[in-house]
Amino acid sequence: MSDTANYFELFQLPASFDIDTDKLTRRYHILQRASHPDRHTHSVETAQRLALQHAMIINEAYHTLKDPLQRAIYLLSLQGIRPDEADSIQDGVFLMEQMALREELAGIPQQADPAAASDHIQKTIQVLITTRLNDLTGWFAAPDEPAVACATVQKLQFLYKLQQEAATLATHLNEA
């Protein structure tokens, strides 16, 4: 097994955006049971070294396929499409929406009921993420212009970052 192994083949799953994540996790556990360094500590050195390499690839593969955004980027890379090298987002409406959301997030601590406001924005972001993930599902079902998929991936990157910040704010609000 090399680090250029195809992650889908590794887990014996079809190379598609819609995958059974329960099955993925079950197979991940089976593969790690076979290859984790802990399974080879009493073996010869060559086996220990290979076990480490295999376990690293399996971890990377699992975490790539488990996360929808990483999975999309990986699938695109298999088709030679690189969203990180594509033009940056031109969609004015999306950028305005992002700015509005960022302003809303920044203003939450000053709200009368910050906890409720925090809940609200987290739900809003989740809906936006779900919508974009559906866009990706559609694109992979019937691929058209690569630029469309790249733009969706970039938008999701924005949204996940925002989601992370909203979660951090919620954690801080809880402490106050």
Partner 1 sequence: MSRLLQISEPDATPEPHQHRLAAGIDLGTTHSLVATLRSGVPDTLPDGQGQHLLPSVVRYTTQGPVVGAAARAAATRDPQNTIVSAKRLIGYTAEQLAQNNIGYELDGSENAMPMLRTVVGLVSPVTVCADILKSLAERAETTLGGQLAGTVITVPAYFDDAQRQATRDAARLAGLPVLRLLNEPTAAALAYGLDRATAGIHAIYDLGGGTFDISILRLHDGVFEVLATGGDTALGGDDFDQAIADWMVCQAGLTSDQAAALRRNLLQQARTAKEALSEQDSAPVQVTWTKGVWRGELSRAQLDELIDPLIRQTLRTCRQALQDAGVNRQDIAQVVLVGGSTRTLRVREQVAGFFDTMPLTDLDPDRVVALGAAIQANSLVGNPTGQDVLLLDVNPLSLGLETMGGLVEKIIPRNTTLPIARAQTFTTAKDGQTALSVHVVQGEREYVSDCRSLARFELRGIPPRVAGAARIRVTFTVDADGLLQVSAAEQGSGISADITVKPSSGLSEAAITRLLQDSIEHAAEDMAARQLIEQKVNAQRVLDALHAALADDGEALLDTAERAQIDTALAELQATAEQTREAGELKAAIAALEQVCALYVERRMNTNIRQALAGQSVDDIH
Contacts of 92 (CB under 8 A, 6+ apart): none
Closer residue to partner 1 in complex, CB, 51/72: 51
User: Is residue 12 within 8 Å of 27, Cβ to Cβ?
Assistant: yes
Between CA 45 and CA 27 the distance in angstroms is 26
What tokens appear for 151 in the block? 């733009």
Question: Smallest gap, in angstroms, from Cβ of residue 106 to partner 1?
Answer: 18
For the purposes of burial, counting CB atoms within 10 Å of the CB of 151, is it exposed (0-12), middle (13-18) or buried (19 or more)? buried
Question: Smallest gap, in angstroms, from Cβ of residue 164 to partner 1?
Answer: 9
Closer residue to partner 1 in complex, CB, 63/102: 63
Helices (H), the chain: 7-10, 21-35, 45-66, 68-78, 92-107, 114-141, 146-175
Summarize as ranges the residues that interact with partner 1 (CB under 8 A): 1, 3, 11-12, 23, 25-27, 29-39, 41-47, 50-52, 54-56, 59-60, 62-63, 167-168, 170-171, 174-175
Question: Smallest gap, in angstroms, from Cβ of residue 84 to partner 1?
Answer: 12
Q: What is the DSSP string of 21-36?
A: HHHHHHHHHHHHHHH-
Closer residue to partner 1 in complex, CB, 11/140: 11
Closer residue to partner 1 in complex, CB, 2/90: 2
What tokens appear for 13 in the block? 């799953």
Closer residue to partner 1 in complex, CB, 88/174: 174
Question: Smallest gap, in angstroms, from Cβ of residue 142 to partner 1?
Answer: 26
Between CA 76 and CA 97 the distance in angstroms is 26
Question: Smallest gap, in angstroms, from Cβ of residue 26 to partner 1?
Answer: 6
